[in-house]
Structure 1
Amino acid sequence: MKNFLMTAGLRRFKRAGYLLFLFCSAWGFALGPIDSVSTFSESFRFNRLLCDACGCSASGGSMGFSTVGENSFLGVRSMYQRYESNDRLYTNSPWRLEQFRTYQIWTRFRISTKLELTAQVPWQHHNRETATGVQTRTGLGDVSINALYKLFSSENEAKTKSHRFHGGLGIKLPTGEFDQANSNTVNPAFQLGTGSFDFTILGEYVFEYQKNGINIMTSYLIKMENERRYRFGNQTNLTAVAYRKVTVSHWQMLPQVGVAAEFFESNYSRGSRVEDTSGQVAFVRAGFDVSRKWINAGFSAMLPVAQDLNNGKVRAHERLSVHLNIIL
């Protein structure tokens, strides 16, 4: 009963997030296109750069923000995620620790004032407890490339209020190794990659009033079948973040708090649905970014507040992320 109520609540959160995103986007479109948004406001625009920790409940899809704005950049990012899994074969079956570490090189390159490309090259290091010891997976993950286009931007005459909306598409390359044996475990996402070409649809809305802002992001990951005829379930990510811009001397700082939710559809093996591979999880998050001249750094932390992953066989815990960027 508890899992049913939790699942129903998360699904309502998903629908509400979509409605809020669509409402805010329509509101911004109604104001009309005006491309005179201030440079200061743009310098704090969030960018959605999807995390790559594979396919199922351990995807980390809601992590990853950068405040280097419209500038091109090159940087590094380190992410940590902790989970527990339980096969539930017996009433006293133990919970096994699973840790996902990702080290990324990421970049953004501006093609024009409206179009930009982003790319991420991850190196994965995962480990988890088993009945016979510790299993480790280390190697290159799936490389991701996204294209984002500014559909509109507008602000009032006093330049105290602005709206922005970006849409985009992405592709994830099967550069990370897929282990067929791990797909039959409690958490089949214990992989370096999905083994397939996957595609992403992105949307981002930003509303700013004076030094305060709200950022709403949504993404839908479409995952294809790999050579082993295994397909991870499609994934929806929703994130809403409130932030405030603070300038101290020549330092630009951005404290931020928000919520995030991830929804996972079932995996399929040789055309048949794999039981206990769908689910959803909601997080609260907090972070802090700081920029000065050509350098940007920041960190974020996420804690789950509601979840139902893999029919209760997987538990998500904290997620941590730090990054350092060189603004080009």
Structure 2
Amino acid sequence: MSTRYFNFILLLFFSTFGWAKTDNDSILPFYFTDTELDCDACGCAATSASNGIENLMASNFIGVRYFHQFYKAKENVFSNQLSQKQSFNTIQLWARIPIHKKIDVSVSLPYHFHEKNGQNKTSISGIGDLNVMGIIKIIQPKETTQSIKQSLSTAVGVKIPIAKFNQQNAETTNPSFQLGTGSWDTQFALNYQLTYSNSSVQFVTDYNLKGENKKQYKFGNQWNQLVQIQHLFVQKNVKLLGKIGFQNELYYANEQFNEKIPKSKGDAQFLKFGVEGASNRFNYGIEYYQPIKSNLNSGEVEIKNRFGVFLNYNLSK
């Protein structure tokens, strides 16, 4: 599955270079969008939750996105092989509304449906935790004839626990097989972008601070970093934005009763490929994350691929 998705994204990305002529007069402004604060490292993050914060071609929208993650894990602590297949799927409703010329608010609500296949088959489904984020635009690109422009944004978000945390699932090789963390979590993020003509380089970092739930269980904090290159192509009323980047994710150890849980921390690195489009009042995109290295839960869990699509309706006239 991962090879097929990988080749498909490569085809989409590189085909845009021959598809359109660039508009050198100006590049579309990129906007700072929210990140998911759903679950822990290898669990139910719907996309940029565990994937960092990115810019979109629209800043005032309502939309839907789907995100798929596929893992292999040990059946239990006594297993020697990663024989269990784990599929994490999320459909998310999200919206972003400007409330000030320098402040936006975004809200998202996910619906998860996850499945484990191995010696036994297990599935869970339901509404995840509600996410609310405030985005502050510190530096905005000015409408000038200068070729080089820059932007800087920061954000603070909170995850409100409305989904149920399952203690039994937390005791498996992948404790993130959950609909929610059961805790109030916060996130701090920073996004810097340097644009030249129709190309840009973007640096994003976000830190997820996890709280303790009623079971005195605390998922480990998470730190993500993303650097990516983007190029805009224009063909009449259709605009395409090609993206390629590198993402690093660090997961700290989970805790319960103030004691660190063994084999619960890790890290993962990815190559990211994506294509985003805009036509009329619609904004749409597809993205694929190819794992370079995966060291999750001391090797008891391995990520195989991530894949996501989204469709937004631009509320601005």
Q: Which amino acid aligns with 2:35?
A: L
Counterpart-to-counterpart distance in 2, 1:52 and 1:130? 28
* Aligned-pair CA distance for 1:245: 0.8
Please state if 1:244 is matched with 2:227: no
Please state if 1:104 is matched with 2:92: yes
**3-state SS in 1 of match to 2:163:** coil
- Cα RMSD, aligned residues only: 1.9
Q: Which amino acid aligns with 1:256?
A: K
Counterpart-to-counterpart distance in 2, 1:300 and 1:47? 17
Equivalence for 1:119: 107
Whether contact under 8 Å (2:67, 2:306) holds in the other structure is yes
Q: Relative to structure 1, is the Cα distance of residues 304 and 53 closer, same or farther in structure 2, using a 3 angstrom cutoff?
A: farther
* Aligned-pair CA distance for 1:173: 0.6
Counterpart-to-counterpart distance in 1, 2:56 and 2:143? 23
**3-state SS in 2 of match to 1:245:** strand
Equivalence for 2:30: 45
Counterpart-to-counterpart distance in 1, 2:99 and 2:63? 18
Counterpart-to-counterpart distance in 2, 1:137 and 1:66? 31
Equivalence for 1:136: 123
Q: Relative to structure 1, is the Cα distance of residues 236 and 136 closer, same or farther in structure 2, using a 3 angstrom cutoff?
A: same
* Aligned-pair CA distance for 1:150: 0.8
**3-state SS in 2 of match to 1:306:** strand
* Aligned-pair CA distance for 1:273: 0.7
Please state if 1:89 is matched with 2:74: no
Partner residue of 2:281 out of 289, 294, 299: 294
Counterpart-to-counterpart distance in 2, 1:149 and 1:292? 27
Counterpart-to-counterpart distance in 1, 2:240 and 2:273? 14
Equivalence for 2:152: 165
**3-state SS in 2 of match to 1:205:** strand
Equivalence for 1:20: none
Counterpart-to-counterpart distance in 2, 1:82 and 1:220? 23
Whether contact under 8 Å (1:56, 1:188) holds in the other structure is no
Counterpart-to-counterpart distance in 1, 2:313 and 2:82? 44
* Aligned-pair CA distance for 1:63: 6.2
The percent identity for this pair of structures is: 24
Counterpart-to-counterpart distance in 2, 1:52 and 1:221? 7
1:136-192 Cα offsets, whole Å, 9 max, x none, are: 010001111110101123569632110110011000010121001001000000000
Equivalence for 1:254: 241
Whether contact under 8 Å (1:123, 1:141) holds in the other structure is yes
Equivalence for 1:176: 163
Equivalence for 2:61: 73
Whether contact under 8 Å (1:46, 1:215) holds in the other structure is no
* Aligned-pair CA distance for 1:44: 3.8
Q: Relative to structure 1, is the Cα distance of residues 40 and 106 closer, same or farther in structure 2, using a 3 angstrom cutoff?
A: farther
1:51-104 Cα offsets, whole Å, 9 max, x none, are: 3551133345116745234x310000000000011135144x452000000000
Please state if 1:276 is matched with 2:260: no
Counterpart-to-counterpart distance in 1, 2:38 and 2:184? 15
Equivalence for 1:151: 138
Whether contact under 8 Å (1:99, 1:126) holds in the other structure is yes
Counterpart-to-counterpart distance in 2, 1:300 and 1:319? 8
Whether contact under 8 Å (1:56, 1:277) holds in the other structure is no
1:207-238 Cα offsets, whole Å, 9 max, x none, are: 00011001111100000000010000000111
Q: Which runs of 4+ in 1 moved over 4 A?
A: 63-66, 154-157
Q: Which amino acid aligns with 1:119?
A: V
Counterpart-to-counterpart distance in 2, 1:44 and 1:84? 39
* Aligned-pair CA distance for 1:48: 3.8
